[in-house]
């Protein structure tokens, strides 16, 4: 069967759909139905449909026909036939039906799906049209499941971006820079205000070692990869590099950590002092935790964690907390890298004790053993999407749902969720959020796209973002300004190999570059006309 005929077989008429539904019922196969406009099938839709398919054996996607399309003044951007073809291209979709009714109610009465999947936002939706659809499904023995595939994107917003520019990244950047708070002089003024800010950084210090190797070979005794080290480069990591980042951006950091009584611990302490970091260390007998990454060229081929979990006794934990709870800091950062220095109880004690002592309190975690849900009263938490989901156990629901759980349980104000190449989404709790009926009204969010065209090395990007965001908030900046300067810092970090701190001068250069970005096009020869290839200053 050709591709075109295969797609055509998925797009069914009403008569064919009902025949296939009856056959599926006879065979005992569960039919799942999703309904929507699907004007632009974006990543959020794909996740949503894949999750819906997991609830049964066959997935029917019904789309609103052009004649009853109500969005954007009554006409879709993409005609119904092409919208149907887009959905039929997805391997998780079995049938596509163009519904000419105003809602899915009539179709639900006829198809009687075993499962009807709607987005998580419908769980608290009081729209009578949805209640009628739910009644039809349940009256015929079906189930209504609320399951979101992280529909972070908006079709309407994407359409608007396409109308104003062929490059969504450039359009979003342009939208952000139209905000007065992100004007160049305003941001550079904030960066200048970083100078002299006293910041306490608490957490484990780690060594990040890069082992540069020759081209890999296959061992003669068995088919395993053989690596021949050529060079080793070691960088300060963990809380140590966060403190260094703050120092190179103009702040005055104090690092409260644990260091071994050895030449290795003394060497790290001296390096940090030389960078302008005041080091206060608990003395331990264990060696420094080390993460080794084996590279061929700039490509990482293996990672080895040489981590001996720290075990602090009750007296050492008390000493750590007592050293932290002193006055005189503008901000504090609690960085839990999951290696034992900061237990869940210690994290909670630190956050609770520091809250009345500092103007800005931020936190970050790394690894599955970290204590994200034990932070308390934070101004900002900076987990990755994976760390957020693992901590909240919200694996199948939207990111706003997981963020609201995090902020509610930790009684924190804001979160920045890092999304890798998709950038960062900053979420802020709105006033009177407890009385709101949906997550969209409880949280305000801003997406800042990744500002690095290509990441040479993602190591340290989260640390750079956290350092810049903390200094921004401590200098009176807003959450959006913190997210933007944090993204500029992360972009600068991503362009280098190894965990090398970003400077205030690099932040200023990043601001200038963002404000002078232009869309570049490939020449007609050897490229599709009008195909964007780069963003440059």
Q: Per-residue pLDDT tens for 232-265?
A: 999 999 999 999 999 999 999 999 999 999 999 9
Give the best-scoring range by mean pLDDT among 45-59, 428-442, 508-522: 45-59
**For residue 77, is pLDDT > 80?**
no
What pTM did the predictor assign? Answer: 0.69
pLDDT of residue 435: 53
> What is the pLDDT, as a whole number, of residue 45?
81
Q: Could you give the percent of the chain with pLDDT greater than 70?
A: 86
- Mean pLDDT of the 134-162 span: 71
Superfamily of 198-332+340-354 according to CATH:
Ribokinase (3.40.1190.20)
Smallest Cα–Cα separation from 277: which of 325, 250, 249, 243? 243
Q: What is the pLDDT of residues 324-340, one digit of tens each?
A: 999 999 999 999 988 88
Options 3.30.70.270, 3.40.50.620, 1.20.1270.10, 3.10.105.10; CATH for 7-161 is 3.40.50.620
pLDDT at 62 over 50: yes
pLDDT higher at 138 or 369: 138
What is the rounded average pLDDT for all residues in the chain?
86
Q: Note the pLDDT of residue 305.
A: 85
**Among 25-29, 116-120, 377-381, the least confident range:** 116-120
Residue-wise pLDDT tens digits, 283-321: 998 888 899 999 998 788 888 888 778 888 899 999 999
If one counts every other C-beta atom within 10 angstroms of the C-beta of residue 285, the result is 7
Element (H, E) at 536: strand 532-536
pLDDT for 331 equals: 98
Residue 279 and residue 259: Cα distance in Å, rounded? 10
Q: Percent of the chain, pLDDT > 90?
A: 57
Note the pLDDT of residue 189. 96
Question: Any idea what DSSP says for residue 216?
Answer: P
Task: Evaluate whether 205 touches 283 at the Cβ level (below 8 Å).
Answer: no
Q: 359 by DSSP, 3-state: which?
A: coil
- Which span out of 37-51, 68-82, 256-270, 436-450 was modeled with the highest average pLDDT? 256-270
How far is Cα 201 from Cα 433, in angstroms, rounded to an integer? 31
Confidence class for position 149, pLDDT limits 50, 70, 90: very low
For 63-74, what is the mean pLDDT?
69
Per-residue pLDDT for 122 more than 70? yes
pLDDT at 266 over 90: yes
pLDDT confidence of residue 441: 66
Highest mean pLDDT among 31-45, 210-224, 480-494: 480-494
* pLDDT at residue 116 is higher than 60: yes
Question: Which own/partner contact pairs does 287-291 have at CB distance under 8 Å and 24+ positions apart?
Answer: 287/260, 287/262, 288/205, 288/206, 288/207, 288/259, 288/260, 288/264, 289/204, 289/205, 289/206, 289/207, 289/238, 289/337, 289/339, 290/206, 290/207, 290/208, 290/209, 291/206, 291/207, 291/208, 291/209, 291/237
Q: How confident is the model at residue 476 (pLDDT cuts 50, 70, 90)?
A: very high
Q: Look at residue 118 and give its three-state secondary structure.
A: strand
The pLDDT tens digits of the residues spanning 513-537 come to: 888 764 443 444 444 433 333 333 3
Q: What is the C-alpha separation between 294 and 305, in angstroms, rounded? A: 11
Distance CA 76, CA 205 (A): 54
Question: Who has greater pLDDT, 140 or 522?
Answer: 140
The encoded tokens of residue 288 equal 């420094």
| Nearest residue to 47 (alpha-carbon basis) of 429, 467, 477, 398 | 398
Lowest mean pLDDT among 119-123, 232-236, 493-497: 119-123
pLDDT digits (tens, 9 = 90+) for 397-411: 888 999 999 999 999
If pLDDT is split at 50, 70 and 90, which confidence band does 342 have? very high
Q: Residue ranges per domain, the chain?
A: 7-161, 198-332+340-354
């Amino acid at each position: 069967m050709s591709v075109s005929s295969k797609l055509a077989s998925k797009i069914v008429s009403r008569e064919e759909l009902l025949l296939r539904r009856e056959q599926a019922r006879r065979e005992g196969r569960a039919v799942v139905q999703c309904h929507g406009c699907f004007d632009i099938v974006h990543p959020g839709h794909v996740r949503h449909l894949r999750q819906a398919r997991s609830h049964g054996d066959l997935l029917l996607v019904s789309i609103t026909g052009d004649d009853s399309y109500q969005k954007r003044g009554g006409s879709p951007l993409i005609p119904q036939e092409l919208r149907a073809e887009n959905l039929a291209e997805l391997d998780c979709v079995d049938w596509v039906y163009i519904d000419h009714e105003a809602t899915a109610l009539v179709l639900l009465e006829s198809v009687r799906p075993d499962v009807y999947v709607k987005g998580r936002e419908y769980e608290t939706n009081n729209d009578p049209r949805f209640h009628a659809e739910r009644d039809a499904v349940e009256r015929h023995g079906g189930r209504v499941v609320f399951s979101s595939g992280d529909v972070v994107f908006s079709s309407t917003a994407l359409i608007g971006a396409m109308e104003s520019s062929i490059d969504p990244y450039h359009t979003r950047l342009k939208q952000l820079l139209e905000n007065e708070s992100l004007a160049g002089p305003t941001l550079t003024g904030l960066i200048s205000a970083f100078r002299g800010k006293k910041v306490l950084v608490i957490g484990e210090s780690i060594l990040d070692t890069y082992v540069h190797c020759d081209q890999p070979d296959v061992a003669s005794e068995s088919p395993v990869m053989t690596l021949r080290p050529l060079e080793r480069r070691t960088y300060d990591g963990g809380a140590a590099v966060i403190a260094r980042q703050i120092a190179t951006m103009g702040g005055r950091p104090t690092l409260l950590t644990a260091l071994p009584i050895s030449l290795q611990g003394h060497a790290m302490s001296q390096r940090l002092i030389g960078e302008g970091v005041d080091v206060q260390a608990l003395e331990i007998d264990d060696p420094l935790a080390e993460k080794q990454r084996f590279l061929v060229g700039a490509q990482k081929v293996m990672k080895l964690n040489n981590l001996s979990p720290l075990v602090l006794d009750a007296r050492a934990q008390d000493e750590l907390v007592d050293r932290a709870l002193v006055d005189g800091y503008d901000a504090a950062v609690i960085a839990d890298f999951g290696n034992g220095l900061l237990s869940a109880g210690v994290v909670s004690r630190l956050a609770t004790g520091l809250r009345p002592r500092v103007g800005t309190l931020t936190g970050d975690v790394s690894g599955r053993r970290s204590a994200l849900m034990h932070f308390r009263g934070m101004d900002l938490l900076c987990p990755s999407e994976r760390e957020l989901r693992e901590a909240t156990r919200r694996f199948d629901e939207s990111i706003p749902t997981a963020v609201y759980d995090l902020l509610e349980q930790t009684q924190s104000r804001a979160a920045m969720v890092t999304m890798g190449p998709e950038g960062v989404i900053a979420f802020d709790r709105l006033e009177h959020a407890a009385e709101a009926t949906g997550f969209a009204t409880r949280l305000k969010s801003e997406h800042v796209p990744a500002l690095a065209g290509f990441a040479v090395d993602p190591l340290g990007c989260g640390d750079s973002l956290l350092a810049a965001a903390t200094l921004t908030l401590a200098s009176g900046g807003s959450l959006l300004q913190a997210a933007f300067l944090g993204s500029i810092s992360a972009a600068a970090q991503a362009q280098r190999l190894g965990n090398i701190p970003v400077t205030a001068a690099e932040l200023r250069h990043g601001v200038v570059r963002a404000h002078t970005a232009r869309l570049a096009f490939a020449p007609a020869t050897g490229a599709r006309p009008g195909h964007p290839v780069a963003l440059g200053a």
